[in-house]
Structures are given as C-alpha cells and as structure tokens.
Chains A and B, each alone.
Chain A
C-alpha cells in the first residue's frame, strides 16, 4: 500500500475517528495515527466507503485532533506466530511486555480467526481432572470444552482458575497443558497475583500471557482475546499442544464493546449492549475444541463477573447460551467461609455425559454424581422450610438430607487451595458422606454400586 498519511479527519467521537478523501481503505484494515505531538496510536477500520472511513482507535482518542495524520497499513490485524511465544508476556496489542526481544515469526495469522468447519470438528470426550471435587464430580471438565466461571466481584474466581490451571491433567497422564492467559482490564494487583503464582509454580515457562490492564486502553481489549486465541490455535493446531485458555474478565471486554456501539450511535440491545454481542462473543468462545486429524486441543476457561450477581444480566446470559455449561461461584458459600465456593446446583457441564464412566473416570461416577446433586438440592431446599417450621417438624429422611447438605459443603466442597484430589479420592469421599443417609433414601444409586462401594453396606 501507498503508506500515504492523510490529514483529513472530520470528526472525533468517543473512541472513533471519521475521515474523508482517502484511498480505497479495506474493511478491518489496520491504521496508524500520528498525533501532532508525535506520539502514535493504533486503530482499525470499522466502516469504509468512497466518502467516509470510520476508525476505532484502540488507545482511545485523547490527544487526537484534526491535524492528526492517519496511515492505512494495507492489511487486517495479524499476529506474528511462533513457538517462541511460549514463556512470553505480551501486552494487549501483542507487543512484548517482558522486556524480551521481538517475537521472531514463523508465520502470521489473521486474528479474527476463520470458523472451524463443524464437519471438521471432533467431539470432546477426554476427562480433565482438576483436582477440585465439586468440578470433577459434578461439572466435569472435558478437554476441548469451553466452560466459563460465572463469578462476581470480590469472589475468589482467580484462585479457582489458577488452581485449575495448576492441577489440570488427564487422568493417568503427565501430559501438560500450555496455558494461554489473557487479561482484559483487570487490576495490576490481580495480574500480579496471576503472574507470581505462575512464576512460583514454574508454569510461566509453559505459558503465554497477553495483558491488558485496567489502566490500559479499553478499546484494545477487543483485540486482546483474539490475539490470545490466535496464539492458542497456532500452538494447538500447528504444534499439537493441549492449550488451556484462561481469560478474564469477559465483563470488561463486553463493556468495551458497548462503548464502541454507543460511539457509533447503534441501536442498543438489552442494557445498552450491542445487538450483535451474542455473535461477537461466539467468535471468541467457539474458538475452542478439537479437530479431526490434529493432536492438539483448545480448552477455554473464561471468567466473567456478573454485574449485581445477576445471572440474567446479558453478559452471563449470552455467555451461557454459547458455552458448554458454567461453573457458578456463590457469594453465600464464600460468606460462610467455604473455598472453593462453587454452587453446584446452577452449575453444569454439558459435555460431562460423554466423558465419565468406567473407561474414563469410574463406573459409579454418574450414579454418584446424580445422587450427590439430588441429595444436596433437597437438603438445601429443606433449609428454607426449617427456617419456618423448625427442625423438629422434619421426618427422618428430611433430617438426614438436611444434615447431609451441611456435610456436603463442609467436607466435599471445601478443600484447600493446593489440595489436588484424584477422581478416585473424590468419589470415595462422596461414598463416605453418603453413609449419613440411609440407603433406602439413596434412590439414584444403582444397587450394584452400593454393593461394591458403600463403606458399610458393600458386599
């Protein structure tokens, strides 16, 4: 491309710059802006025509004036990809942030990422043991799954994500994950927490970090996860790695999206978020999975904080409509001092059915998980009733269930931040706790598993 610099800006609005009388500019083309003080900014074309070009500026438009020079770089946004990305820390636009050298590219990849042909996908079915009982037993994670954490401000979702990143492994295998970590608008403190944990455990050497912090440009957040996923795809599908992508906080990403929508005066959807947010999020979340003929995989672990703890807010709502389940963190459990405060009742892993059982986890897993869930759900519900009628009004069965719900939280959910339980340990623990309910009430357990695994009634 010509590389000509235009000084034809007519309007500046929010993060958008409008200019006229340009060469034919490509949709999605990368743009460089040179401010009158000599500093540089980057952007991308959102709308292009013979008369007018609209550019979104990643770093925001502070300091931009009508004299700012605009250069079109001739291409859409690409990430230089290389195996050397592993072990590196990059900023939200893909530049080294760790003081290291520039990445020597083995190739370049368009960060928008083409859709995986659904016919070329392979169904995920390998069990990932996270060592966290609530997840392994009740919302089992599968390699190639996209399973978000629905959390809220002030809850320990970062600890959980890190614990998973540390402990995740295939059962009976030493195969390790490459962690691609993507920070979108989180605080420096949170980021340091992640980084030092990865450093401490040596995981940093096997990780790639893309970092956009709270005081980094908000609009840049729209490309940060795309960079991370492009790197993940490259490592998974060109170099056979199993990649675990952790990104946080999707809520900040969505807010950046809303900002662009507002500046373009688009008709807003629910709560001011753009009507295309579902599609936009899907373009991130769907970049997970396994494909035929390739050894690698991408497992996604997005973290989002629900504004106002509201699961029907558009961000968790649209996410839930795209991902393959969700792990819901509960303020109430956190308040009663339980870590990890996972509320298994609204949590779900949609791919679990195909990955548990005799060949993968254990033959009694499904039965046990159903029973644990049902008994806990009933016990929890009884708490409400007891508050009204008192514990004495309960019959024997209800009393047992009520007590069980306490044990469930205290013994099953609760574990320490470095406690890595194997799936056998988790399931054995379930049996131990279910002893507290008479077997005649354990209607979801197959008799054959009672005969085999029940601590006191086995044959």
Chain B
C-alpha cells in the first residue's frame, strides 16, 4: 500500500474513514470502486475521515480510496453564466445527459465546457507587465456580460505573447516571459477567500425594487443581510425577487437543501424575464447552484462555498455581485449531520461548536473591495434562515444576526393576513442608512432620509395606537389619531405591500418609491387641513382620487402619473371639507 492509495475502514452514512493514505486536510479523494468524490475533513493517526459527496449505500470496507492531491476547487472561466450546478459544480444538464432524470452516482463532470470555443480579445500586448488579477483579455460571455480573463492569483510577469482569437478554456491564450502559460480557465479552492487589495466601506445601495427593503431597510452593495422566517412566510419569494430585480450585475443563486421545483421554476422563468436594468433576459447574468434537500448532504455543505467562490471571481472582474443562499439553515444542518457522524462534542442544539465561526467566515466573504486590478467590485450576500418553529432564538438565526447588518424579519402573522412581503416593519432593521444616506440625497432626493424617518415613525405610532384600539375600538380615538391610523394603513397597503408576482407592482424604482412615500405624507397634510377646516374624517379619507392614486400603481407608467393623481386627491379633499 502506498501513501496515495488506501482502503475504506468504516462507512457511516456520508462519512467514510480510510486507512493507509497520507492525505491532507480538505484534499479531494476518490472513494470505493465507483470512485465517489469525497473530501478529507479530519485526520486521526493513520485514519483519514472523509465526507462523501454522493450516496454511500452498497460501499464496503476494504474498497479502495485514492488521493488526488487537489483540494475541493471550482473551475472558473467563461461558461459559468446561465449554468445550473449541483453543490460541487457538476452542471446539472451534463448530469442529465449522462444519467437521465435521476442523479446516479460516480459520474464526474467538469464545471466548464472544455470544448466550447470562445472569442478571446486580448487587452494587453507583448511586453506589458501584468500581475495577479490583471485583466489580459475579454470574452463576450452572454449578451450582457463581458467576461474578463485575469491572471490567476499568485502569477505575474511580463507578457511574452498573447493573441486574440478563438480558444477553448484550456488553451493557452497568453504566455509570460518566465514561461508561465495562462488559460481562460483557472481553478480556485472553494474554502479559501479569493484575494483582493483592500475592503472599502459600502456606500451604494443594492436597489432591489422592493419598497420596504429599499426605503426602510436598505442593503448596501457589498453588505450582508439575513432573512429569517418560518415556513411559508416568503423567504424564497423574496430571494427570487432579489435575483430578478436587484441592480447587481451578476447574480449567484444557491438553492441549498430546498425544493427541486423551486429551482425548476427559476429555470423556467429567468430566460423569459427581462432584467429591468439591462432590458435583456435575466438568465444572462445568473449562475445557479441547486443542491436540493434530497441530494447528498455533504454536497449541500459544499454548495455555499462553491457559490461564494464563483461570486468572488466575478467580483474580481469589477462587477457588483449579489449572492442569495436559500437556506443557510440547511447548510448549518448539513454541518450538524456531518459533525454528529464524526462524534464531535456538540454545541447548542446539536450544532457543532464551530457553527458561528463558519457563519462568520462565510458572511465575511461579502464586501466591497478594491480588486487586485484596482477596480471596484462587490459581493452582497443575502442568506435565508429557516428557524425551527419560526423562533429566532436558535443558534443559526442568532449566529447570523451577530454578523449581518441587515435583518429582514419575516412574520407568519403577516403572511397569514396575506400581507406580502411579510416583512415585519417593527422588528426588521438595517444598519446601513448612515453610510447610504449621502447616496440617497445625491441621487434621489435631498430629503430622502427625512421622509424615511417620517414614514417609520408613523408606523411606530400606529403600533402604539393599535394597542389602545384593541381595548376600546377605533371610534373612541380623537379624530387626529384616527387620521394617523388611516395614514398608517395607507403606508401598509399602498406602500409596504407589494405582490412579488405582479408584472408591474413587483418592481418599484427608487424615484417612484420616493414619490409614493411623499404622496402619503401629502395626503396626511391635506387631510389635516381639511379636518381643521371642519371636514368629516369619513368624507376626507374616502375621496375617490385617493383610491385611484392607490390602485393605479398596478398599471405601467405609474411614476409619470403620480403627481397628477396627488393633485387631484388634494383638490377632492379640499372640496370634501367645504361641502360638509
């Protein structure tokens, strides 16, 4: 027996112990006669403990285990976009071709199509000095995205030769004068963050088109957000809306331990949906990773790393990347399952003691950076969390909330009232407004932050008034407070509610959001005046023009009509006061 080849000693679910190999931590090994892919996750004397990315039924002690010398890596290069992978970057369409409808095991597949020929256009010339991360050429990867071919980290020198032309991803496109050959494809170990020059503080919002998010709880490009919520409260719909409408240039969508049909839905929909920011199909900017709940848990554990590495790679080209992980709880559970097979000492609720540090390391890979090339790039991470029983006092929610600066808390009660998105406006928060307000003032309206404050304090006041109403009924309140309730209702129904499936209302630009918020405050002002002038609350709030103002948001071109609708509302309210 050499150090390279060993045998299986023990099999317990996805965890296999091998003897007789001298492997390294996180090295990829081939397990059993079928050569199942696994990764070394623990070393004990002469034993290597391996998590196996495929089903281990039918495998026996004594079967071979072979080292590969590689750590778990992804292939990076043109061909990532529009692709759908499993947790270890095997393209699902390729798996379908080789094994049909059901995913059998023991099949290898390259992450990139190694045959496909791309038009490479050199952007440096012989004699130029290049460094790690320098862009040496480009490829039009999809209709909207230019893929920048970079010098892999760790390499640099003077370009000896470089040529534009048609190449596949393994052909050399550039040679440095020390003989280093550069191809369009590079590999990167998924568990190590890719290098950058420095991290910046985020100062630009990730515009999502969802009013409650952008307006009240904004997320910065390069920031991290957590979306906890019980089942059926809208985590997936929210994540999918973000994948559709947010103004990231690249989207990495990870279905981590969730439903197969949800991924199918994305696959069906995205090629036909138009990106509001480019006017081209959304698929062009999207990479998907689908390791559904019934696929092997070890590959589920790896899926978030595969995803974030791909996200960092596009960041390094200077893009703003948004990554959605649905659901990080399933990732944590995969860790728990593996850990318990290793008979590790459990921490809280059976999760391994290193849960919170793994969560922190993952979210730390978000950020806005100066790339090695000196460009500005970002990875924004949005993680769904699925707390048992919807109770966020559990370890995954708590571990997440300690790190992320944005908390979008989904609420079962709101979902049950069909108030969507069911994000609780009282418990949610964002710590970014401070760093983003200048941007909002410069780009949308100079009083944007003040309007936001007014809207949120109205909602606070409403919550307090509601407590009284519960006891005495709303008719017992003074008229000005009844008006406040009416205004708050308008905020909820007209502004916060947004049907994620409505072709028009699902997306609101920031200017429209601002106008809608202003319209609500204008309503409040005119109604107050009318009441002071002796108008009846009933008449003042029920003017038809207000209903029109609210209903019209479902029609396209709304933003151009808002001002007119507001004027009409003001007129009718004033008239209502005079009639009395």
Interface size counted on chain A using CB atoms at 8 A: 72
Docked complex Cα distance between A257 and B333 (Å)? 17
Complex formed: what's the CA distance from A346 to B230 in Å?
A: 12
CB within 8 Å of B: which of A88-114?
A: 110, 112-114
- A contact residues around B405 at 8 Å (CB): none
Q: Is the CB of B11 within 8 A of A117?
A: no
Residue of B100, B267, B292 most packed against chain A (CB within 10 A): B292
**Given pairs A48-B10, A287-B294, 18 additional interface contacts (CB within 8 A):** A26-B57, A26-B60, A28-B58, A50-B9, A114-B55, A115-B103, A115-B260, A118-B84, A119-B93, A119-B267, A269-B349, A270-B349, A275-B333, A279-B294, A279-B333, A286-B259, A314-B388, A320-B230
Neighbour of B293 across the interface among A279, A320, A351, A353, CB < 8 A: A279
CB distance from B506 to the nearest CB of A (A): 13
Interchain CB contact under 8 A, B259 and A119: no
B346 proximity list for chain A (CB < 8 A): 267
Residue numbers in B under 8 Å from A116 (CB-CB): 101-103, 260
Which residues of A does B touch, CB under 8 Å? 24-29, 46-51, 75-76, 110, 112-124, 237, 266-270, 275-276, 278-279, 282-283, 286-287, 289, 291-294, 312-314, 317-318, 320-322, 324-326, 345-346, 348, 350-351, 353, 370, 373-374, 377, 385, 389, 393, 395
Q: A291-B101, A320-B232 are in contact. Are A119 and B416 (CB under 8 A)?
A: no
**List of A residues within 8 angstroms of B12 by Cβ:** 27, 46-48
Q: Is the CB of A25 within 8 A of B101?
A: no
Does the CB pair A117–B59 fall under 8 Å?
Answer: no
Write the nearest CB–CB distance from A382 to chain B, whole angstroms.
11
Query: Does B417 lie at the interface of the complex (its beta carbon under 8 Å from any beta carbon of A)?
Result: yes
**Contacts A275-B333, A289-B260; A112 near B292 (Cβ below 8 A):** no
Quick one: given A27-B56, A47-B12, are A321 and B418 in contact (CB under 8 Å)?
no
Q: Is the CB of A276 within 8 A of B337?
A: yes
Given A50-B61, A268-B350, CB of A119 within 8 Å of CB of B96: yes
In the complex, what distance in Å separates the CA atom of A248 from the CA atom of B294? 21
Which of A28, A121, A312, A346 is in CB contact (< 8 Å) with B390? A312
Which parts of B339-361 form the interface with A (CB within 8 Å)? 340, 346, 349-350
Q: Does B57 lie within 8 Å of A269, measured CB to CB?
A: no
**With A118-B264, A119-B92 as given contacts, are A312 and B60 in contact (CB-CB < 8 Å)?**
no
Interface pair A24/B260, CB less than 8 Å apart: no
Distance between B91 CB and nearest chain A CB, rounded to angstroms? 9
Q: Is B138 an interface residue (CB 8 A)?
A: no
Contact partners of A118 in chain B: CB under 8 A = 84, 92, 255, 260, 263-264, 267, 290, 292
How distant is the Cα of A76 from the Cα of B350 in the complex, in angstroms?
A: 30
Shortest 10 CB-CB distances between A and B: which pairs? Answer: A49-B10, A282-B293, A28-B57, A312-B389, A119-B92, A320-B231, A114-B102, A286-B294, A24-B60, A27-B11
B268 contacts chain A at the CB level, 8 A cutoff: yes
Q: List 10 A-B contacts (CB under 8 A).
A: A26-B57, A47-B10, A115-B295, A117-B101, A119-B263, A120-B96, A278-B257, A278-B330, A321-B231, A350-B232
Give the complex CA separation of A27 and B10 in angstroms: 9
- Option from A51, A294, A314, A373 in Cβ contact (under 8 Å) with B418: A373
Closest to B334 in A: A279
Within the assembled complex, what's the spacing in Å between the Cα atoms of A231 and B340? 33
Distance of A180 Cα from B55 Cα, bound (Å): 26
Asked whether, in the complex, the Cβ of B261 is within 8 Å of the Cβ of A121, the reply is: yes
B95 within 8 A of A: yes
Please measure, in the bound complex, the distance between the C-alpha atom of A279 and the C-alpha atom of B17, giving whole angstroms.
22
How many angstroms from the CA of A317 to the CA of B232 in the assembled complex?
10
**B297 contacts A by Cβ under 8 Å:** yes
Decide: A115 and B255 in contact? CB cutoff 8 A: no
The docked-state distance in angstroms from the alpha carbon of A326 to that of B231 is 10
Q: Roughly how many angstroms separate A374 CA and B420 CA in the complex, as a whole number? A: 13
B259 close to A75 (CB less than 8 A): no
CA distance in complex: A26, B330 (Å): 28
From A120, which residue of chain B is reached at the shortest CB distance? B101
Contact of B570 with A by CB under 8 A: no
Distance to closest chain A CB from B410 (angstroms)? 13
Please measure, in the bound complex, the distance between the C-alpha atom of A186 and the C-alpha atom of B101, giving whole angstroms. Answer: 34
Set of chain A residues within 8 Å of B297, measured between Cβ atoms: 276, 279
Q: Does B286 contact A (CB under 8 A)?
A: no
Of the candidates B11, B84, B101, B267, the one having the most CB atoms from chain A within 10 angstroms of its own CB is: B101
Q: How far is the CA of A346 from the CA of B232 in the complex (A)?
A: 10
Residues of B close to A269: CB separation below 8 A: 336, 349-350
Most-contacted residue by chain A among B93, B264, B290, B346 (CB, 10 A):
B264
Q: Are B473 and A123 in contact (CB under 8 A)?
A: no
In the complex the two chains form, is B294's CB within 8 Å of A115's CB? yes
Query: In the assembly, what is the distance between CA of A267 and CA of B184, in Å?
Result: 47
- Taking the complex as formed, is B119 at the interface, i.e. its CB lies under 8 A from any CB of chain A? no
Query: Is the beta-carbon distance between B260 and A322 smaller than 8 angstroms?
Result: no
